[in-house]
Amino acid sequence: MKKLINDPADVVPEALAGIEAAHPDLRVDHANRVVHRADLPRPGKVGLVSGGGSGHEPLHGGFVGLGMLDAACAGEVFTSPVPDQVLAATKLADSGAGVLHVVKNYTGDVMNFEMAAELAESETGSRVVAVVTDDDVAVQDSTWTAGRRGVGVTVLLEKIAGAAAEQGRSLDEVAEVARRVDANGRSMGVALTSCTVPAVGHPTFELGEGEMELGVGIHGEPGRERVPLAPARDIAAMLVEPVLADLPFGRGDRVLCFVNGLGGTPLLELYVLYNEVHRILTGSGLDVARSLVGPYITSLDMAGSSVTLLRVDDELLSLWDAPVRTPALRWGV
């Protein structure tokens, strides 16, 4: 194992210290491992909170800031944050208009966010609403999931719902936008290699030189099947076709196309893949209205990619285009 770390046990707290040092507009509650905006509270604004296991950076701490999240809590690598962490993040983000929890559909995340919401409501009287993302079409149930896994749509939802909250919309209105994003988005991923958790020191699973894991999860969970390595044009079809079939998308639909890197794949290759995905989408009669390409929801050093398609309308496009200033996404400001 070759990694830019000191001690595997200190990776998460030292990374959080680095985020705080690099971004003066953010603060870190080191006791609870919560990244939050420095300008909180924001009276009258709905608070947005998310979080999950570390190892998926920039998700979630890299999306804290103007136009996205107000706070994000970091669990250990690939481990859900505990309820006390989520409670601390919720209290920090609560500016009096209620708090939206954005939760990926993994059993530990869902349970711990639910417990934290109950604690927040009993301790402070704040109203907390949760929206659970479940966009992965690869498998119905997985290692840590009842139902579909929450993956790439989470990034898009945090941006779009964050913009709605920044406009001063009510908690119910922000939650409705978030649910609409989840309902209209689908994802599928592929791994070319495994990943290595620092505390473990060896790959999470074995993958042969000539193999890919189609439908892999962001923690290295098994996908649909193990298939022979293929050119980018064929991989694009393997990822896009199940996504198009699942919603389904119709000719003339406008979509936001998100080609995500899982941590170990360079942008050069992601743009090769995006070109193939774009070709399939336009050939299917879809209007690619917006795009996002890059490593935004990763799996440590895993080589591979995922494709997320979000069906959009004028309102969702306007919210996507709205100003954002976070470590990982920044435009319009």
Distance CA 315, CA 24 (A): 32
Distance CA 227, CA 271 (A): 22
CA–centroid distance for 7 within its chain: 27
> Which of these is catalytic: 23, 60, 101, 219?
219
Please provide the size of the chain in residues: 333
Strand, helix or coil for residue 28: strand
**DSSP characters for 173-213?**
HHHHHHHHHHHTEEEEEEESS--B-TTT-SBSS---TTEEE
Element counts in the chain: helices (H) and strands (E): 8, 14
Facing residues of 129 across strands? 100
Per the annotation, the verdict on 56 as an active-site residue is yes
Per the annotation, the verdict on 219 as an active-site residue is yes
**DSSP characters for 31-54?**
TTTEEEETT---TTPPEEEEEEEE
Is the preceding omega at residue 228 within 30 degrees of 0, hence cis? no
> Which of these is catalytic: 23, 36, 56, 101?
56
Would you say 303 and 220 are in contact if contact means Cβ atoms under 8 Å apart? no
Non-local CB neighbours of 265 within 8 Å, separated by 6+ positions:
192, 295, 303, 304, 305
Active site residues: 56, 219
